[in-house]
Amino acid sequence: MNLQTDKIDLKNLSVTELEDLAEELVFKRFPGRQLFTWIHRHNVTEFSGMTDLSSEFRSLLADRYSVGRAEIVHVQASQIDRTRKLLLRLADGEQIETVWIPGSARNTICISSQVGCPLACAFCLTGTMKLRRDLAPGEIAEQIYSVKSVLPAGEDFQNIVLMGMGEPFLNYDNVIKGIGLLMSDYGLGIAQKRITVSTVGIVPGIYRLADSGLKIMLAVSLHAANDELRTRLVPANKKYPLVDLRPAMKYYTEQTGQRLTIEYCLIGGVNDSIECAKQLVTFVHDIPCKINLLAYNEAPGLPAEFKCPTQDSIDRFREYLYPRCPAVTIRQSKGADILAACGQLASRSATNIIEGEH
C-alpha cells in the first residue's frame, strides 16, 4: 500500500518538467526523458530499477522525490463477457474504479477523473458518493498502467474513455495533463483519436477543449432533449441548459472539424418515448454527431422507479432516429454482473466484493 509522504510525486510531471528537473540536478536534460520513459512506459516506481540513469541522479531523486503507484485492491472478472473491473486504492486511502471492456474489434479502458462525483445524475451510482476529491494527472494515467499489469497474456486495449467516476471538465487541467502523459511518445504514445472525454455538458469545458488544439474525441451525455426532463435526470442542466449547451457542441464540431458523440441512456417509461426521440432529432439538427443509445443499468441505491427499457422500446427509439440522424448505434453495456456497466461505478461497492479474485 502507498503511504503519503512530503516528497513530490514525479508521476504527475510532464516530459518538459522532468527535463527541467534533470537539468537542475545533474545539468543535463536528456535524463529527464529517460526518467519519464521508466515511469510511464515501463511503470517502474523504484529509482534503483531505472538502470540507465546515473547513480548520482538516482540518489538525488530518492532523497527528494517519489513515484506513486495505486494499490490494486481487487480485480473482478465478468462471467458473462470478460469485462474486468479494478478497485484501486490511492496514496491517501481514497478508492476509485477502472474498467477494461472487451470488444469484437477493439478493447477499451474506462477511467475515472475524480473520486466520486458532485453532479448527482439521477441514474448514476457514482453520484451517490458525492465528490471526495479530484484525481491528479498521474493518478489519471496510472489507471491505464494498473489495467495493463493485470491483463491476461495476449490482451491489450485500443481505446481510452474518460467515462468512469467523476466529471472530467470539473477537473479540466489535471485531465488534460493526464491525457498528455498518456499521449507522450516517451510513454505509451497513445494517439489522440483513441481517447474520448465524456461530459454531462459542462459548457466552459467544451469551449476550452474546442480551443485547445487537441484532437481527442468528445462525448456529451445528453439523456433528454428538453430542459424539464433533462434537469430531472442531470441536475447540472440547471446551470448549463440546452440553450447554452447546443451552441457549445456546435462550436466544438466547427472548431475541431470532428463530429462528437451523444450518449443517451434509455430509461423505461422516462425518456424512451417517440416524443423524446423527436425532441432529440430537433436538438441535434445540423450538429455533426453520432448517437449512442444504451439501456439503463439498474443497481442498488438508484431510484426504484427507474427501469431498464424493453427491447421493443429501444428498437422503436432507434428506428425513429435513423435515418433522421445519420449515425445511430445501440451500445451493449458490459460488466453488469460485476457493477461495471455505465452508471454503476462507485468505490464504496468494494465492501461487497468477494475477496481473492486478484
What is the 3-state composition of the chain as percent helix, strand, coil, each rounded to the nearest 5? 40, 20, 40
Active-site residue list: 97, 342
**How far, in Å, CA of 149 to CA of 358, rounded?**
11
Q: Are strands 108-110 and 95-101 parallel, antiparallel or unpaired?
A: antiparallel
Q: Tell me if 277 sits within 8 A of 321, measured CB to CB.
A: yes
How far CA 320 is from CA of 188, 265, 286, 315, in Å, comes to: 42, 16, 17, 9
Is the CA virtual torsion 298, 303, 307, 313 positive or negative? negative
Helices 242-256 and 203-211 meet at what angle, rounded to 10? 10
Q: Which helix (H) or strand (E) holds 293?
A: strand 289-295
Q: Tell me if 4 sits within 8 A of 89, measured CB to CB.
A: no
Q: Tell me if 175 sits within 8 A of 113, measured CB to CB.
A: yes
Distance of CA 137 to the CA centre of its chain: 12
- Which candidate, 305, 313, 302, 312, places its Cα nearest to that of 336? 302
Residue 107 burial by Cβ neighbours in a 10 Å radius (0-12, 13-18, 19+): middle
User: Quick count: other Cβ atoms within 10 Å of Cβ 4?
Assistant: 12
How far CA 178 is from CA of 132, 139, 175, in Å, comes to: 19, 8, 5
User: Quick count: other Cβ atoms within 10 Å of Cβ 55?
Assistant: 9
Q: Tell me if 78 sits within 8 A of 333, measured CB to CB.
A: no
Position 48, amino acid: S
